[in-house]
Structure 1
Amino acid sequence: MSDSDSDNTPLAKVYKNHAVSQAHISKAVDNAMDKAFSNASVAPAGVSVRNGPVIEDKMDIDEAATNGNTKRKARASISKIVNYGGNDESDSGSEVPLAKRQKFNGKSTAMDPESDSDNEPLARHDTRLPPKLTASAFGEDSSDDDEPIVAKVAKKKASIEKKAEKEAKEIRAKESKSKNKKPVDDDSDDLEPKFKKRKSSSAAAAKKTNGIKKEDDSDRPLNKKTPKASIKKANGKVKAETPTPAKKGKKSEDEAEEVYRWWDAPQKEDDSIKWNTLQHSGVVFPPEYEPLPKNVKLRYDGVPVTLSIQAEEIAGFFGAMLHSTLNVENPTFQKNFFRDFSEVVKKTGGARDNDENKIKIQEFAKLDFRPIFEYYEGKSAERKSRSTAEKKAEKAAKDEAEAAFTTCIWDGRKEQVGNFRVEPPGLFRGRGEHPKTGSVKKRVTPEQITINIGKDATVPSPPEGHQWKAIQHDNKATWLAMWQENINGAYKYVMLAAKSSIKGQSDHKKFEKARELKKHIDRIRKDYTKDLHAELMADRQRATAVYLIDKFALRAGNEKDTENEAETVGCCSLKFEHVTLRPPQTVIFDFLGKDSIRFYDEVIVDTQVFKNLKIFKKSPKKDGDDIFDRLNTTQLNKHLNNYMPGLSAKVFRTYNASFTMSTLLKELKDNKLSIPEKVKLYNDCNRQVAILCNHKRTVGAGHETQMEKMNDKVKALQYQRWRIKQMIINLDSKQKKKKGSEWFELESDIDEAWIVEHQAFLVQQLHAKIENKFAKDNEKLAADDKKEMKQKELDERHEATKDLRKKFRKENMSHKVEPEGKGPTVEKFYTSVEKLDAKVNSILLSAEDREGNKEVALGTSKINYIDPRLTVVFAKRFNVPIEKFFSKTLREKFNWAIESVNDEADWEF
């Protein structure tokens, strides 16, 4: 078929039952497309108008066989008891004084009929879509209607991109000047000397193969490669520096380990060498299977059956999770489980009834797992009912047994090991609609495990009667042990913990690469904007893909073996049905993204990008055909490497988030705000980053409940504050005239019915507190072999409950509150009121923050994409404890960021 520019030439040709784009785009096609869009009004481009992805409440499946079990009711959560008066400031909300709750209805939101276009997204399991972008989500006043929120977001994004362009030019000019070289001509298409010079699309067209997309070895999933290749893939280059000299003087074993400041240490000449010496204790295996009692058996068609130990264990996997209806009622889960279970039953002698007659297990629907479920539930209840002393003793014994496995000796220093436990056997669940969900995860044996350790180190001993698969001494690898799991054939690795120096160096390298991208981002954007008009189809597809990755944080996407893996896609692997075009500039993405989570987003793109996607989808392309049929991830990353060594598509997400956060933080001013206000200020910036960089989420089902709990908590504090104010009047009636009668009034949304209900809760709370304290005191006496207290003591303690009930009844009748506490004074009560004012304001601020963050994945941005040093810089500049932003685990993980910024006060991204 000819690739001529004739108007009659079809845009695509059929190749192996799939339509593929022509190698070149004729001028006639471009002109026709320009004419079709000539009268279209141009909207602000480069922004998303939805808050995705879609999280489905449950799978849309056919009615499944029940196996004799009914749906198990959700466990009622046991509410935490708060201190009297609401002094607990936990955000969990589990301590709410009121029982009244407005339940989340969970109803789906139907697709908005925004246009009558026949190019609408295909029907999905769940039609509920993410909410549209709102002014409040972006931190804008929703009452200001002068400018649409989409335009504001687009304007902000454009401003940040313009700043990035200016900064890139300044950095290159500064570097050029420092090297005594002629400054780089910013209008030139040439790269810096150390990078490969790029050729224009027209000049290079004849030399490019422009071939049809085909799977490349380096683009295959990890589990499809050979073990050796997989190992190399898993070991990304991480700078390994030599340790800093130890301080003089001996250090006792009880003293804390000296922190290895790898960021200060000199670099090794060969950074592919990760370690010189390595010693570790191997892995911890799960306990052996404990057979069921003889009276607990699986039933088939109502008949108890006896199975082999192997088959019984697998039946136990299913029986123990009957409460997880999302899984056990999933037809795919049932099908895969029954296939593996039946196979094991046949291989191990079959099933027999009590008279030793063979039972043929042929139908899943006739299996009844209730006896197994009830047995394991009883065991679970028994474990939970143990005393605190018993639980602590068991934990101490377990910690002692595993102590040797938690650390390793890496180049003479102690490092924390991460996942040293071998995963126990069970049923594979997977993410989303994984095709292998329900398959049996087999028990991993020592014969499957390869140990990586130093040549002169002592090899850990395998369990008695077993041996390791292999012992190797690969000092270019950072894993300690490796095996292949049976579900997807993927390799599992025992690595160092997130807080280890090796993992820290990996994070540091990721963010430094994003900082390096600052120098080249303007050139990259200039080039892909130019190539959006390229004549060569491969160039135009690549430019469009980079645009989508840069502007909307789409993942690059790798090709999958759909028979063995969940059919998840990214930008380069988008199919015809995943992209819907709504004129004049709206593109709708609807596909299964990372972790099989449905990704749905509506974005406004540049007019040329919209035209290109229309060309890429032009007939005879249909469902199943690739949008970017002349591009794959390997080709894309190879192209990006021309700009900067090590640059790949995923670096854009890190760069955009970090640069955006850096820009927003520089605009902030410290106006003598309180700590909670400063935290909210940071979160507001984080939220804008998440929106501008498309790290968003749907509103969680529990959001409304959490907001109501916070509201009830505020009302509890307001009621306590009102009682104290009444005590002030009781002590000195003149204070009412002094402060004004309004100051002493109760909030308008707190009525008598609420007060009575809240008082009942406080009485119940005190009752439960006394009961728990009595039980713990008796438990402690029993542990010390002392005589336990009798019921009489408990009855005496409950007098306080009766007194509190009487007090509330008296207050309700007299409308007066007697002063409480030792030596009550007006001054003391005023101090108490001020403290309660601060608590109320803090919770209200937190509630406002939570409401603003309901559609934004702040954690994703802060932990994975925003350089942690930016958070540390904010904490130092605004004098906020770092604990307000990073949990203990994150502080350990990002210790390098905290320490390095402390050493470099003027650090900038």
Structure 2
Amino acid sequence: MAQVALSDSQGDNRLATATNGRAKANGSNANGKRPLAGSGSDLTDDDMPLAKRAKGTTTNGSAPAANGNGKAPKRKAVESSDSEDDMPIAQTLKSVAVPMPGAVEQPDDNDDVPLAKTNGRGARGHPRQSYKEESQSTEDEDDSDVPIAKKAAPKKRASNGKGKQPPKKMVKKEESDESSDEDVPLSQKTPAAKPKAAAAMPAAKKRKSEPTTPATKKAKVEVKKEESVSPVKARGKKAKSEDADADAQAKAEEAEEEESYKYWEALTAAGDGSQKWTTLEHNGVLFPPPYQSLPSTVKMLYEGKPVDLPPESEEVAGFFGAMLETDHAQDAKFRENFFDDFKTVLEKHPPKNGIKIKSLDKCDFRPMYEYYEAERAKKKALSAAEKKELKKAKDLLEEPYLHCLLDGRKEKVGNFRVEPPGLFRGRGVHPKKGKLKLRLYPEDMIINIGEGAKIPVPNIPGKWKEVIHDNTVTWLANWKENVNGNSKYVFLAAGSSLKGQSDIAKFEKARELKKHVARLRKDYTADLTSKVMADRQRATAVYFIDRYALRAGNEKGDDEADTVGCCSLRYEHVTMEKPDKLILDFLGKDSIRYYNELKVEIQIFKNIRIFKDGKSIGDDLFDRVTTTGLNKYLQSYMKGLTAKVFRTYNASVTCQQQLEKLTDPNATVAEKILAFNRANREVAILCNHQRTVSKGFAASMEKMNDKLRALKYQRRKLRYALLTQEPQLKKKRKELVEEESDLDDEWIATHEDELRKKEIEKTEKKFEKEKEKAAAEGEEEPKASVLNDRIAAINEEYDRLKKERGSKNVELKSAKSAEKIEEALEKLDERIKNFRYQITDKDEGKEVSLTTSKTNYIDPRIIAAWAKKHGVPIEKVLSKSLITKFPWAVEVDPDFVF
């Protein structure tokens, strides 16, 4: 994979070697990292260990400050042995420290000493056996929607020196460390005020019928509020209009108004962000149907004997039975956790025939597995009409829950379906996989709705646990799952106004970092040689966050996954190889392994050596740094700046630079798409968005190669047909004589037999549809002889092809002129070329996830602007769901620059 060198002049040097990582995982090299400004492989006094520096200089190589008498204090040069180069800072400072005037000696202050030197182990340096929940909020989710009662109390403002607090400025609330949903309250929006993002967007398209002004928008919303029907009332009935034409016109106008509402134009840059909405109506959540007992003939076996389980126990046994042939069911930890919970359920609901179940190995779930497999096969074998009816019934059931009314506007709801019970699978190496996820009831659910709105009725018997009216949060429902005890929420869909406003604010904050990043890098580079251990550790941590997009890392509880980030790296996670190589190996987010071989600056290498000195396995590497303290330091440079903002900034900058580097304006659309995916892949590597190669990857690649051979087969037929008509071309055009690769007689025979079989199946299905249509319309059904004649014609054609296999004299099924064949050959050559790009793209991306970066980290305006500029259809690089999620980005100007 290509080395990535990014310009420092733009203040955006992110990777140095973005692809050196994943090192052995991807087989790439770890060399080529460009040093930070002010540091390098040549040791200056600035880079030398403190123990080896002359006393007459400061840490930056300048003369010491005056002592108050206009003269600098005299110092004698002190020589030290090479062994002192490896000594902790505290052991080298006595000969260089200059006490400040009025300073009081603090013998117990160890800020400049690693904690390992003070108590033998880091404050957080203990071995952890902690784990992370599968469904815990992902990176693009946040805690901005947590009820106020659960939020931390605001800090008191500093005094202005006169005994009074300064007046509170009206500023936009910034997102927290893991937050991206601090939305501006809709009630406080000022249509005239626009965000910084608006400068990069074209003016809104106005409706032809009337100009769209703040006044008319407000009036329309008010009218809509008065005329709107509560979604609860609309559950089973719809208001009947006396005038059908007027009703249709009203619906059309409403749809046009919804489509024309562009929340990003009404986004205000002011407000404290406390209130998110004024009115909210919705139908609650959709609970899964109750459990249906298995047929009496389907029983779990224990020591070969059928076990008569009550429904409560049978349901849990069925969860395991349905997964019998999966890797989960073979996993020791999964089996252990399942059986522990299964025994607990059996104690409350024991087998009716008195069988005692004491060992999972003696349980036989095969009958259950076979039953569920048969049910799946039946569902798959349903006719198109039957599947359509099932979907219609499902849509009818879900329709009331799809939307809510937010401030009078119809907004789509996200995850309104309550998660059904089952077995927890977890991500990565999770110790709770296999545990039972209990069935949820209305009594487990807290509903958040507008005050005065009609309270929704659950679709199953029961009453809500609580109904609240909190307009400072954006969730509609909240419950606590039993496996890890975490709160889970129902939010609006990704394309909603609240989510969209949050996304805009997130990417604008990352863009703002451009103004401050140069100063921040200069300061933390200087602190890499600080005499204070806490400052030196913090600077080194920021270096890793800035250069390699490491997550900050947070403390984990005993029941969470043992995943770490920069601040929580431990002694065993970093291996050193002289002179300047660091190997990082740890479990990152979602228990995904992070492995990276880094060639770093000499000063960074020295710092890590000092941080590890005196420590052992289980001790924290950065024992003087916490995530909270680190983010507080970052926010001193820019309000709201956190380690996560760095990841968004790094990803966006890297994507834009790589697109400029890799895109050839004169290339085909297929080549440009390949360039885009390669640029996105660099971002995914930077952010460690790795994935394991899927089990079906080899089969999928073989299938693609077979499709490529099928295209070559078509080309061969066209080429032979052209030469049959125009034999003189054999001497004039060599490309028409050269044989296609990968095509042998055996493969051609197999391919033609498969084509024959598929065409016959297609003809039979078409005949069945014709019969169904005739029966539905009361017409005479076609006779079986019609089908037989069609199949006979297919067999006749493929028998003819069979005879042509050994001959180069080919006749096409439909006669074509030489000119038409030439045109078909040109189109087919282009298809083959583009399909080869797809195969290359798939192979290169087999170990990298390209979705996460586009969903959470890359500013979508970069992608949309690139697509417009180079004539690439936006749907080729952004999925339909992402286009819905980022409608504000699609309207960006082609010249947009992050």
* Cα distance change, pair 493–684 in 1 and its aligned pair in 2 (3 A): same
Out of 806, 811, 816, the position equivalent to 2:809 is 816
Q: Which residue of structure 1 lines up, in the alignment, with residue 562 of structure 2?
A: 567
* Cα distance change, pair 333–670 in 1 and its aligned pair in 2 (3 A): closer
Shift of 1:345: 1.4
Structure 1 residue ranges, 4+ long, deviating more than 6 angstroms after superposition: 200-209, 219-227, 231-235, 247-250
d(CA) in 2 for partners of 1:712, 1:385 = 27
d(CA) in 2 for partners of 1:892, 1:488 = 32
Shift of 1:252: 2.4
Equivalent residue runs for 1:864-875 within 5 Å:
864-875=856-867
Question: Percent identity of the aligned residues?
Answer: 47
Shift of 1:669: 6.8
Equivalent residue runs for 1:524-543 within 5 Å:
524-543=520-539
Q: Which residue of structure 1 lines up, in the alignment, with residue 344 of structure 2?
A: 343
Out of 364, 386, 394, the position equivalent to 1:368 is 364
d(CA) in 1 for partners of 2:285, 2:774 = 40
* Cα distance change, pair 663–240 in 1 and its aligned pair in 2 (3 A): farther
Shift of 1:782: 4.8
- Cα deviation, 1:490-533, whole Å, max 9, x if unaligned, reads 00100000111111111111111110111111122112211121
Equivalent residue runs for 1:252-401 within 5 Å:
252-254=250-252, 255-256=255-256, 257-265=258-266, 267=268, 269-324=271-326, 326-348=327-349, 350-353=350-353, 358-401=354-397
Equivalent residue runs for 1:506-905 within 5 Å:
506-562=502-558, 564-619=559-614, 621-667=615-661, 671-691=665-685, 694-696=688-690, 702-737=696-731, 739-784=732-777, 788-822=781-815, 824-899=816-891, 901-902=892-893
Aligned residue type for 2:620: D
Question: Is the partner of 1:798 in helix, strand or coil?
Answer: helix
- List alignment gaps of at least 5 residues for structure 2: 1-13, 41-61, 63-96, 116-121, 138-142, 153-175, 192-213, 221-245
1:907 paired to 2:877: no
* Cα distance change, pair 645–440 in 1 and its aligned pair in 2 (3 A): same
Please, which moves more after superposition, 359-368 or 252-261? 252-261
1:435 paired to 2:427: no
* Cα distance change, pair 329–511 in 1 and its aligned pair in 2 (3 A): same
**TM-score, normalising length from structure 2?**
0.74
d(CA) in 2 for partners of 1:394, 1:275 = 37
Shift of 1:610: 1.7
Aligned residue type for 2:619: D
**Is the 8 Å Cα contact of residues 712 and 740 (structure 2) preserved in structure 1?**
yes
d(CA) in 1 for partners of 2:596, 2:668 = 37
Aligned residue type for 2:678: D
**Is the 8 Å Cα contact of residues 282 and 403 (structure 2) preserved in structure 1?**
yes
- Cα deviation, 1:638-684, whole Å, max 9, x if unaligned, reads 11111111111111111111112223444577543322222223233
Question: Is the partner of 2:525 in helix, strand or coil?
Answer: helix
Shift of 1:214: 5.8
Aligned residue type for 1:889: S
Shift of 1:414: 1.0
- Cα deviation, 1:169-226, whole Å, max 9, x if unaligned, reads xxxxxxxxxxxxxxxxxx9xxxxxxxxxxxx9998999998486469xxx99999999
* Cα distance change, pair 230–370 in 1 and its aligned pair in 2 (3 A): farther
Question: Is the partner of 2:655 in helix, strand or coil?
Answer: helix
Aligned residue type for 2:864: V
Shift of 1:804: 2.3
Shift of 1:867: 0.7
Equivalent residue runs for 1:158-237 within 5 Å:
210=111, 213=123, 236-237=181-182
**Is the 8 Å Cα contact of residues 324 and 369 (structure 2) preserved in structure 1?**
yes
User: Which protein has greater RCO, CA pairs closer than 8 Å, 6+ apart?
Assistant: 1
Question: Is the partner of 1:530 in helix, strand or coil?
Answer: helix
**Is the 8 Å Cα contact of residues 665 and 870 (structure 2) preserved in structure 1?**
no
d(CA) in 1 for partners of 2:670, 2:701 = 18
**Is the 8 Å Cα contact of residues 482 and 492 (structure 1) preserved in structure 2?**
yes
Question: Is the partner of 2:25 in helix, strand or coil?
Answer: coil
Aligned residue type for 2:342: F
d(CA) in 2 for partners of 1:303, 1:294 = 14
d(CA) in 2 for partners of 1:817, 1:492 = 65
Aligned residue type for 2:182: K
d(CA) in 2 for partners of 1:897, 1:735 = 52
d(CA) in 1 for partners of 2:98, 2:443 = 54
Equivalent residue runs for 1:71-110 within 5 Å:
none
Shift of 1:813: 3.9
* Cα distance change, pair 229–48 in 1 and its aligned pair in 2 (3 A): farther
* Cα distance change, pair 723–561 in 1 and its aligned pair in 2 (3 A): same
**Is the 8 Å Cα contact of residues 46 and 606 (structure 1) preserved in structure 2?**
no
Question: Is the partner of 2:623 in helix, strand or coil?
Answer: coil
Shift of 1:48: 5.9
- List alignment gaps of at least 5 residues for structure 1: 1-43, 54-128, 135-148, 163-186, 188-199
CA RMSD after TM alignment: 3.4
Out of 377, 400, 406, the position equivalent to 2:402 is 406
**Is the 8 Å Cα contact of residues 717 and 836 (structure 1) preserved in structure 2?**
yes
1:498 paired to 2:500: no
d(CA) in 2 for partners of 1:695, 1:306 = 47
1:131 paired to 2:29: no
d(CA) in 2 for partners of 1:48, 1:873 = 24
**TM-score, normalising length from structure 1?**
0.73
**Is the 8 Å Cα contact of residues 51 and 132 (structure 1) preserved in structure 2?**
no
Aligned residue type for 1:337: F
Question: Is the partner of 1:651 in helix, strand or coil?
Answer: helix
Shift of 1:413: 0.8
* Cα distance change, pair 201–637 in 1 and its aligned pair in 2 (3 A): farther
**Is the 8 Å Cα contact of residues 677 and 845 (structure 1) preserved in structure 2?**
yes
Question: Is the partner of 2:724 in helix, strand or coil?
Answer: helix
* Cα distance change, pair 373–624 in 1 and its aligned pair in 2 (3 A): same
Please, which moves more after superposition, 566-575 or 676-685? 676-685
**Is the 8 Å Cα contact of residues 131 and 563 (structure 2) preserved in structure 1?**
no
Shift of 1:392: 0.9
Aligned residue type for 1:808: L
* Cα distance change, pair 676–230 in 1 and its aligned pair in 2 (3 A): farther
**Is the 8 Å Cα contact of residues 131 and 560 (structure 2) preserved in structure 1?**
no
d(CA) in 1 for partners of 2:516, 2:530 = 21
Aligned residue type for 1:616: F
**Is the 8 Å Cα contact of residues 516 and 637 (structure 2) preserved in structure 1?**
yes
Question: Is the partner of 1:768 in helix, strand or coil?
Answer: helix
**Is the 8 Å Cα contact of residues 408 and 416 (structure 1) preserved in structure 2?**
yes
**Is the 8 Å Cα contact of residues 579 and 587 (structure 1) preserved in structure 2?**
yes
d(CA) in 1 for partners of 2:465, 2:687 = 45
- Cα deviation, 1:622-653, whole Å, max 9, x if unaligned, reads 22221112222111111111111111111111
Q: Which residue of structure 2 lines up, in the alignment, with residue 52 of structure 1?
A: 22
* Cα distance change, pair 266–749 in 1 and its aligned pair in 2 (3 A): closer
**Is the 8 Å Cα contact of residues 52 and 698 (structure 1) preserved in structure 2?**
no
Q: Which residue of structure 2 lines up, in the alignment, with residue 64 of structure 1?
A: none
Aligned residue type for 2:790: R
